[in-house]
Amino acid sequence: MSDFVRIVEVGPRDGLQNEPAMVATADKIELVDRLSATGLRSIEATSFVSPKWVPQLADAAEVMAGIQRRPGVAYPVLVPNEQGYERARAAGADEVAVFTAASEAFNRRNTNASIDESIERFAPVLARARQDGVRVRGYVSTVLGCPYQGAVPLADVVRVARRLHDLGCYEVSLGDTIGVGTPRQARDMLLAVAAEVPMAALAVHFHDTWGQAVANVAACVEAGVRVADSAVAGTGGCPYAKGASGNVASEDLVYMLHGMGIDTGIELEALADTGRWLAAKLGRATGSKVGRALAAA
């Protein structure tokens, strides 16, 4: 495996959609442009889920029209179904992401559908994407625990991840949505999935509810994964999981990886500056320990 880890920055989508504050469209555009200048190669720009369910990202088309796309940087967007895919394509998206869960209980609360039904909804997206030459990323949430059913069997995580990969997702992101996992659990989960899906097609996505997210990523990197999701300033959370805090902060993750001798291509100080800028827009301090430390230095 290489000594490079690709960070998928999900702050503009997974971060902002779960923040109580509404962010102006111009600020969302500036956020993506600032992130593009840090060396990130993948920035999830927005979501084309119905504004009824995600009002914070109702301006998705305007954001896509306003951002300055840099060569070599991907700007995927989240879509729930074929209608969302059509809206995303009309807005100029050339990479999309679809989502489901490993927990039936969570999926029904989150999407009002079973896992199989949610996959049936976005299966046409994969078919259309193949025709259009659009790359599709897949998300599997609740891989280490569910707020409704508790423990999630590893077999369910493996089955859903394999199905997404078989359908054509070039990459499957494994998400600890409520942030309950620990490093050994995270590593064991990753290796179980990697027995059925190539490690090169896997990513990890950890929330920091119990302060384990950075350690969980480290365990998974040591086990072989080379893609990790994170959100600048530690934004986000999960509206369906009581007490779930934000995503692992991109600044903290980059600091750790660089300290492990692993390259990310990201300029840490520029990223931390963007995190502090965003936190000010949200009316709070940054959720990144590294961001706060750099500001105090």
Q: Which residues are catalytic?
A: 238
Residues 6+ apart with CB under 8 A from 73: 36, 40, 41, 42, 43
Choose among 168, 197, 174, 177: nearest CA to 187: 174
In terms of Cα–Cα distance, which of 130, 132, 150, 134 is closest to 142? 150
Report the length, in residues, of the chain: 297
CA dist 174 and 186 (Å) reads 10
* Residue 92 C-beta-side C-alpha neighbours within 13 Å: 13
Q: What are phi and psi of 64, to 5 degrees?
A: -65, -35
Q: Which residues pair with 206 in a beta bridge?
A: 176
Q: Sign of torsion, CA 13 18 19 25?
A: positive
Strands annotated E in the chain: 6-9, 42-43, 46-47, 77-78, 95-101, 135-141, 171-176, 202-206, 227-230
